[in-house]
Structure 1
């Protein structure tokens, strides 16, 4: 297959001719963007499956693994079609189906059922089911079932836990339901999956120590891992986060639905190696999803780079930094509080203010994990005690307390299934929360790929350094050519701003 089909084009809701060309080329860039199912074998695969390419007449294409399972197909045991990066379509699209997929991946159906999913999205269960079935070929229960099966396979293959423990940790209501689902989806028993994983063990990361789970988080190369680590390191809050630049690793604490966790991530050639320590295994799927979003591992870097490199002003930066990512977030409330603290101050000053907040109000982990010792404080604690801890401008303190109270009361709920425009309007309605903060939260929390923070001073300095117009209006007009990847262009501009000479550099 020649050339590269951008996400928007390649998922023009699954053009069969283009999809088959990707399969014939065994193009791994398309893994996770659609599923190929073969009628003659009853098996579904990722597009790059190394098996013999089936005849076009024998192939069906699906948007999701759940849709293929609902049609009676089983997962390929050779290419493991669930062990691929997720579709970048869920971030590129902002419609109901995409927002639902983000919440389902975060485990909302396992925790709150379909009624809870519908409630968070603001639609009736009937309408939600109809839209998902029409758009994706499967309803919310089938989509959640596929998510549970994936979480179960991870536990089967990476731990020695008994089957009964895995069944309930993955969200199944009974061991029988668990066994039936694993056989239906993978055409193998849990013990057969475990044995196959052990045969592959020599190519997998070393197993975690007792109480830990070692995983591989795949991505579409290239990945600018150094850039992600640098972004996170500049903002890392001691106790909550730790970055080891020498070893190329990042760790942080997590507050999840059923308990707490620590995670250590180390990027490698084709996957990010992850070691998780969970207090409750039911949080595995949600933890993995949030960490993938933090490192933007479901992005389509080839599509992004192709569009941005077409602008001569960005071409050199794209060539020097292929696969740039927009770091996401593991918790909407945490991101919002940190963003408000960072308004109109430097990254270093924001980090100092956030560190003071965490030191005073963050819960200590029962068991520290190296330098990871604290959890980010809850909105309830910040709302109650923040006034005695926060320093700096009174307007900023009031904004932090106001959003924390709204978060604690549930009148503000920044989750990954939110509509971007609605969330932005809600945030800007708070006194002291400006457009920059609202757009920044939308970009990182929702993974919105097309947000350019033209009012950001550092971004505009980077634009000027690259020969782009630094004024917000002119830059916005020039940036129209970068759609739908303006968030990624902003990362290039932020990086370019670091190269702008300062007085200290000139005298060094």
Structure 2
């Protein structure tokens, strides 16, 4: 996108917020970079330069606009719809892998040399993994400076900087302000969040329809791990340095952000927690591109026009979702929740939640691999399916995280006992995040297709759905929404 100068200029002149995060505009006369939707008067086209990432702008010597805060744009939708090396690397960087494991750790997870990854990211994003991670640390630091009263020395290390000097230098370079000056500009709030709590906004590209997104999460919530309370979805998070609790509130009409409150055992997990919450709610999607293609089908068009901007509810823990997908095989939503709740009580790690009813982290694959299969109130064949899955996950033979190659993961899942097309595609859709995952054998899909006049046998529906690619997971959400199931209704 950033190489199409004419299109970029038109987007900036129109202040089109759909392109926020897709590319960045740098102004050579002011040495400032902005979102395409920046509210200030657009510069002359001859003074504009376009970059694919905030890190590339920073490396070129530009600093972030204080008005539009381009570093806080929604993420590029490219990393949601692709599973190539660049996309997988960006998902891992967003999950904080470079900060925790360095570039060698990133390379090890991806199965490429550090030099190959550096070359690929430079070619496509104008910045290498260290620069991209540094830009992310700068954004995390700004959030902590502006939303907490943590001492600035604590902010430096919580944001992932190795030293206070690196923290000071980076903040000055990116924002043209020292950390103390940035804190002095801190917006006045009616009340600070409770101690240990961080209040922030998660931006997204409009439109966003919250009904199926929050409805699905609330209807399938596992007691103790998730809950719907006071108009918000809440859940526990297993994070690299400890645990956390996220509270996510559906956006008000006309808002372009989800309110998020995080309680973290270790502030170093802030970046990872934000990344996982964004992924859970599919906030980096491009709903305009998705809906435009699906509207081309005359039978889908009325569904899209009625409630545009549907997202795919995903997960904060890929292994957890895979386990829950097995527990949900051929049973009702209520039964699947009951089975999961039993596992949580028996094998989950206890946490404290003074603000609600959350009690546990979902058990890790390692904890589940040690359980006695006879203790599971499941048919024998499903016990085998579950125990095989958790053993593969615990041993590292199967990975479903941000580094996963979607097709390779599908092949590995399909080779496990008890994994049919429905389970594999459900995991591909919600855990792997493949926007083209498709469940033609799903009963709800087939019923909706028949009611709409679409082919309803799996083979015929798959053939018709070829025109919906690469967005078949979103088409699935629109078809499911024709049912009155609680997953499609925003809770009271």
Where on the TM-score scale, by shorter chain, does this alignment land: which range? over 0.9
2:131 to 124, 139, 142: 142
2:265 to 276, 279, 282: 279
TM-score of the two chains, using structure 1 as the length reference:
0.92
Instruction: Give CA deviations for 1:230-253 in whole Å, capped at 9, x if unaligned.
Output: 111121001100013xx4310000
CA contact under 8 A between 2:223 and 2:337: conserved in structure 1?
Answer: no
Cα–Cα, structure 1 residues 499 and 376, in superposed 2: closer, same or farther, change >3 Å? closer
Distance 1:393 1:140 in 2: 47
Instruction: Give CA deviations for 1:322-350 in whole Å, capped at 9, x if unaligned.
Output: 11010111011111111111123232221
Q: Which moved more, 1:395-404 or 1:159-168?
A: 395-404
Partner of 1:216: 201
Partner of 1:117: 106
Partner of 2:118: 129
2:15 to 10, 26, 34: 26
Distance 2:455 2:110 in 1: 39
Partner of 1:7: none
Partner of 1:4: none
Cα–Cα, structure 1 residues 386 and 368, in superposed 2: closer, same or farther, change >3 Å? farther
Partner of 2:222: 237
* Runs of 4+ with deviation above 3 angstroms: 366-369, 497-500
TM-score of the two chains, using structure 2 as the length reference:
0.95
Distance 2:294 2:224 in 1: 37
Pair 1:251 & 2:237 matched: no
Distance 1:408 1:484 in 2: 32
Pair 1:384 & 2:370 matched: yes
Q: 1:68, CA displacement in angstroms? A: 0.8
CA contact under 8 A between 1:462 and 1:493: conserved in structure 2?
Answer: yes
Pair 1:315 & 2:298 matched: no
SS of the aligned residue for 2:370 comes to: helix
Instruction: Give CA deviations for 1:304-335 in whole Å, capped at 9, x if unaligned.
Output: 11111221211221122111010111011111
Number of residue pairs matched? 483
CA contact under 8 A between 1:462 and 1:498: conserved in structure 2?
Answer: no
Pair 1:293 & 2:274 matched: no
Structure 1 gap segments, 5+ residues each: 1-10, 501-508
Cα–Cα, structure 1 residues 408 and 368, in superposed 2: closer, same or farther, change >3 Å? farther
2:84 to 71, 79, 95: 95
CA contact under 8 A between 1:91 and 1:446: conserved in structure 2?
Answer: no
1:164 to 153, 164, 172: 153
Q: 1:410, CA displacement in angstroms? A: 1.9
- Larger RCO, structure (CA 8 Å, separation 6 or more): 2
Structure 2 gap segments, 5+ residues each: 487-492
